[in-house]
Amino acid sequence: MSATTATPVVLPPTRSRLRRRWKRYGPAWIGGAIVLAWILVAILAPWIAPYKPDAVDVTIRLQPPSWAHWMGTDTLGRDVFSRLLHGARLSLLAGFSVVLLGAALGTAIGIIAAWARGWWDEGLMRFTDLVLCFPPIILALAIAAALGIGPVNTILAMLVVWWPKFARLARALALVQRSQEYVEAATVLGLKPRRILVRHILPNTLGPLAVLVTLDLGNAILTFAGLSFLGLGVVPPIAEWGSMVAEGRELIEQWWVAAFPGLAILTVVVGFNFCGDGLRDWLDPKGRSR
Amino acid sequence: MSRYIAKRLLAAAVMAILASAVIFLIANLVPGDPVLAQLGDIAASDPATVARWRAKWGLDLPLWERYGIFLGGLVQGDLGMSIATRRPVLDDIIQYAPATLELATVAFLLSLAIGIPLGIAAAVWRDGWVDSLARGLSLLGVSAPTFWLAFIMLAIFYGGLEWAPGPGRLDPIAFPPEGPTGLFLFDSLWAGDWETFTDAAAHLVLPSIVLAAATIGLITRTTRAAMLDSLQQDYVRVSRAKGLRGWTVVMRHALPNALVPVVTLGGLAYANLLAGAVMTETVFAWPGLGRYTFRSAAALDFPAIVGITLVVSITYLLVNLVVDMSYAILDPRVRR
């Protein structure tokens, strides 16, 4: 994000200007740094984790945090810190898959509805409303349970409830674009509808969609972790944050087993929220700090 | 106005019927087999037992016939039998609903009581320390995983400090109050049983804070944005100019107009609290609909899943309807 180049008049930054800029974009930079750090952790987990995530050693089970085990050990003597680093992989992957696939599907449906108008619009949008009238968690829970335990099934179940908000936003944005003069000009020039849709309307709707995607990544990670916590996301030996909290939820005395993985979820979600807010302010300076 | 209401009611009814078809299809088309979840391994390996079991629950009929039977029952208020509890689904829902209703209502009131004043203060002292505090709190509220927050609260206030009671609605040795509603706070007051009332209230503190965390954040943000908006309007400047005191302007002139979006969000948030209690209820061993949903899903108890999804969806639709109508009352421009 080139936040500093957005200022039209170039003045030497004074102290108060720097402060204002920091106030406005500081959280976004912090959020970006957090997210980037977690992505690096996810990629490098096998090399930076001090132990194997599934190395069982019951002689050292439930040890409190120490120099040897920074975040202690769980009921099977596995190193919580190593499992937490490995857990970043699945959480981020699930979050990105759900949101990107859901956004692609929803945007396609929304833009087609806005372009086609009439029956197609009516039909697609009523279907969207229909899916929206189900409570998302409960529907995803039911589908995930029926499909069977596993990350792919859980992601599929989340996709079923995830696309409608993108369809609504994309349709609204595309309707606005449709009535713009440049679309009329393109039609007059004899461009095919598909070309106008993909090359002209779609790019102009990407900004607000990108904001929703970024804000939604945290949401998707939260929901995936929640379904895992309920026992649907992963099969036991695999390290995943939600299921790690579930494994430690009875252990109130040995708080470290559940506390650290939850803290990991919290930081990554805060990171994405900061990024999304920053992106929104940057794209829409008028609506700043609302 | 009455035409508007009739139109909305009709649309909601059509949606409810369509929703029932969709949820029925999803529940019956997905590959999970309740036979394996319900019968043991040995019983499931005997074809005769499996066939008898399927016939008993009507699983051998074609799909459309099953939907017909389901719809026929629905009209008479019959949601079918739960495979796991072997009781009518409606009875189960009626039994578990009050616990969730009580928890969600307390959480909702809590989020209004904290979110609205905090949002107003943040807008009035914009960019001050209250604003920063409000922003930080609402960010944490929407970002913290509910199930983790529940664990942390229990670990600190029950395990560590021993200020709060443990999971459940009442002390393990206490008897639930006799009463007409199943809402323990109401029933115990009804019976004049002060001891049970304080016990039930104490057990509500932690779970309602946990459940409210995300909603407090949302309501604070919405109130703040709406207040900032209405504080910049001309009529606010006029009332300042004619010499009204600062807080009178804020509370009497800016606030009522700012509350419209808060009402909309509040209604949706309440419906979400009812549906979203799954995690909170699981951690706090709260005998409500959330835990029932989770158990039914894990047991692939299709009649129960269909029934509860339908009931919750209809609640959603109704809440939306009420919100839209209150909107029409608050803002005459919507009525056309």
Q: Are B288 and B242 in contact (CB under 8 A)?
A: no
Q: What residues of A are in contact with residue B144 (Cβ under 8 Å)?
A: 262, 266, 269
DSSP secondary structure letters along A105-136 = HHHHHHHHHHHH-HHHHHHHHHHHHHHHTS-H
pLDDT digits (tens, 9 = 90+) for A226-237: 888 888 877 777
**A224-227: which pairs have CB atoms within 8 A and are 24 or more residues apart?**
A224/A91, A224/A94, A224/A95, A224/A98, A224/A154, A224/A155, A224/A158, A225/A91, A225/A265, A225/B145, A225/B147, A226/A137, A226/B145, A226/B146, A226/B147, A226/B278, A226/B279, A227/A140, A227/A141, A227/A144, A227/A154, A227/A157, A227/A158
Across residues B146-151, what is the average pLDDT? 89
What's the rounded Cα separation, in Å, for the pair B4 and B9? 9
- Tell me the three-class secondary structure of B13-47, residue by residue: HHHHHHHHHHHHHHHHHCCCCHHHHHCCHHHHCCH
A201 located within any domain? yes
DSSP single-letter state for residue A8: S
- A135 interfacial to chain B (CB closer than 8 Å): yes
**Same domain (yes/no): B107, B22:** no
Given a cut of 50, whether residue A290 has pLDDT beyond it is no
Domain that holds residue B40: 2-75
Q: Chain B neighbours among A 158-197 (CB < 8 Å)?
A: 160
Residue A3 confidence (pLDDT): 47
SS3 content of chain A, % helix, strand, coil (to 5): 75, 0, 25
Close Cβ partners of A67 (under 8 Å, ≥ 6 residues apart): none
Q: Taking the CB of residue B178, how many other CB atoms lie within 10 A of it?
A: 11
Q: Which of B143, B278, B320 sits opposite A141 (nearest CB)?
A: B278
Nearest C-alpha of chain B: how many angstroms from A196?
A: 34
Given a cut of 80, whether residue A41 has pLDDT beyond it is yes
pLDDT band of residue A102 (cuts 50, 70, 90) is very high
Q: Is A79 helix (H, G, I), strand (E, B) or coil?
A: strand
Q: Which of A23, A133, A146 sits opposite B316 (nearest CB)?
A: A133
Q: Ranked by mean pLDDT, which of A39-43, B8-12, B303-307 comes out on top?
A: A39-43
Across residues A30-48, what is the average pLDDT? 87
pLDDT digits (tens, 9 = 90+) for B279-298: 888 888 888 888 888 888 77
**Same domain (yes/no): B45, B176:** no
Nearest C-alpha of chain B: how many angstroms from A164?
A: 15
**Same domain (yes/no): B49, B172:** no
Domain end residue (candidates: B25, B40, B75): B75
- How many helical (H) and strand (E) elements, i.e. helices and strands, does chain A have? 11, 0
Chains A, B: CB pairs < 8 Å: 144
User: What are the phi and psi torsion angles at A133 (to 5°)?
Assistant: -80, -5
- Tell me the three-class secondary structure of chain B, residue by residue: CHHHHHHHHHHHHHHHHHHHHHHHHHHHHCCCCHHHHHCCHHHHCCHHHHHHHHHHCCCCCCHHHHHHHHHHHHHCCCCCECCCCCCEHHHHHHHHHHHHHHHHHHHHHHHHHHHHHHHHHHHHCCCCHHHHHHHHHHHHHHHCCHHHHHHHHHHHHHHHCCCCCCCCCCCCCCCCCCCCCCCHHHHHHHCCCHHHHHHHHHHHHHHHHHHHHHHHHHHHHHHHHHHHHHHCCHHHHHHHHCCCCHHHHHHHHHHHHHHHHHHHHHHHHHHHHHHCHHHHHHHCCCCCHHHHHHHHHHCCCHHHHHHHHHHHHHHHHHHHHHHHHHHHHHCHHHHC
What's the rounded Cα separation, in Å, for the pair A49 and A55? 12
CATH number, domain of A228, equals 1.10.3720.10
**Same domain (yes/no): B136, B51:** no
- pTM (2 d.p.): 0.83
User: What are the phi and psi torsion angles at B265 (to 5°)?
Assistant: -65, -40
In this predicted structure, which of A30-34, A132-136, B152-156 has the lowest mean pLDDT? A132-136
Nearest C-alpha of chain A: how many angstroms from B194?
A: 31
Given a cut of 80, whether residue B140 has pLDDT beyond it is yes
**Same domain (yes/no): B162, B63:** no
Given a cut of 80, whether residue B145 has pLDDT beyond it is yes
B82 located within any domain? no
**What residue has token string 């616990």?**
B99
pLDDT digits (tens, 9 = 90+) for A65-75: 777 777 777 77
Q: Ranked by mean pLDDT, which of A254-258, B18-22, B103-107 comes out on top?
A: B103-107
Given a cut of 70, whether residue B44 has pLDDT beyond it is no
Residue A283 confidence (pLDDT): 75
Residue at B245: amino acid letter: R
| Beta carbons of A135 and B313 less than 8 Å apart | yes
Chain A residue with CA closest to B11: the answer is A126
More confident residue, A103 or B40: A103
B252 located within any domain? yes
A34 located within any domain? no
Given a cut of 70, whether residue B38 has pLDDT beyond it is no
Q: Taking the CB of residue A278, how many other CB atoms lie within 10 A of it?
A: 23
CATH number, domain of B184, equals 1.10.3720.10
A47 located within any domain? no
**Same domain (yes/no): B69, B107:** no
Domain that holds residue A195: 74-285
Residue B331 confidence (pLDDT): 65
A36 located within any domain? no
pLDDT band of residue B41 (cuts 50, 70, 90) is low
pLDDT digits (tens, 9 = 90+) for A140-169: 887 887 777 888 888 988 898 888 888 888
Across residues B58-82, what is the average pLDDT? 76
B41 located within any domain? yes
As a residue count, chain B comes to: 336
As a residue count, chain A comes to: 290
A149 located within any domain? yes
Q: Is A73 helix (H, G, I), strand (E, B) or coil?
A: strand
In this predicted structure, which of A61-65, A228-232, B52-56 has the lowest mean pLDDT? B52-56
A5 located within any domain? no
Residue A19 confidence (pLDDT): 76
What is the separation, in whole angstroms, between the first and last Cα of chain A?
20
Backbone torsion region of residue B78, taken as left when φ is above 0, otherwise alpha when ψ lies between -120 and 50, otherwise beta = beta
User: What are the phi and psi torsion angles at B165 (to 5°)?
Assistant: -70, 165
Across residues B220-228, what is the average pLDDT? 86
Residue B183 Cα distances to B101, B173, B179, B197, angstroms: 8, 18, 8, 11
Token pair listed for B187 = 């029933």
DSSP single-letter state for residue A72: -
Task: Using CB atoms within 10 Å of the CB of residue B122, give its burial: 0 to 12 exposed, 13 to 18 middle, 19+ buried.
Answer: buried
pLDDT over 70 percentage in chain A:
92
More confident residue, A1 or B205: B205
Across residues A120-126, what is the average pLDDT? 83
What's the rounded Cα separation, in Å, for the pair B20 and B307? 9
Given a cut of 70, whether residue B58 has pLDDT beyond it is no
What's the rounded Cα separation, in Å, for the pair A165 and A186? 29
What's the rounded Cα separation, in Å, for the pair A254 and A248? 8
What's the rounded Cα separation, in Å, for the pair B182 and B95? 8
Chain B residue with CA closest to A272: the answer is B143
Q: Taking the CB of residue B74, how many other CB atoms lie within 10 A of it?
A: 19
pLDDT digits (tens, 9 = 90+) for B265-283: 777 788 778 767 888 888 8
Please give the tally of structural domains in chain B.
2
DSSP secondary structure letters along A38-54 = HHHHHHHHHHH-SS-TT
Q: What residues of A are in contact with residue B127 (Cβ under 8 Å)?
A: 23
A167 located within any domain? yes
What is the separation, in whole angstroms, between the first and last Cα of chain B?
8
Given a cut of 60, whether residue A1 has pLDDT beyond it is no
What's the rounded Cα separation, in Å, for the pair A164 and A232? 23
Dihedral sign, CA of B179, B182, B183, B185? positive
Across residues A222-248, what is the average pLDDT? 84
- Which residues are paired to B88 by β-bridges? B81
Across residues A55-67, what is the average pLDDT? 75
Q: What mean pLDDT, rounded, does chain B reach?
A: 79
Q: Chain A neighbours among B 119-138 (CB < 8 Å)?
A: 127
Domain end residue (candidates: B26, B41, B75): B75
Across residues B204-232, what is the average pLDDT? 87
Tell me the ipTM for this assembly. Answer: 0.81
In this predicted structure, which of A6-10, B115-119, B297-301 has the lowest mean pLDDT? A6-10
B85 located within any domain? no
**Same domain (yes/no): B226, B146:** yes
A85 located within any domain? yes
Please give the tally of structural domains in chain A.
1
Residue at A210: amino acid letter: A
More confident residue, B7 or A5: B7
Q: Which of A23, A133, A146 sits opposite B313 (nearest CB)?
A: A133
Across residues A217-230, what is the average pLDDT? 89
**Same domain (yes/no): B327, B210:** yes
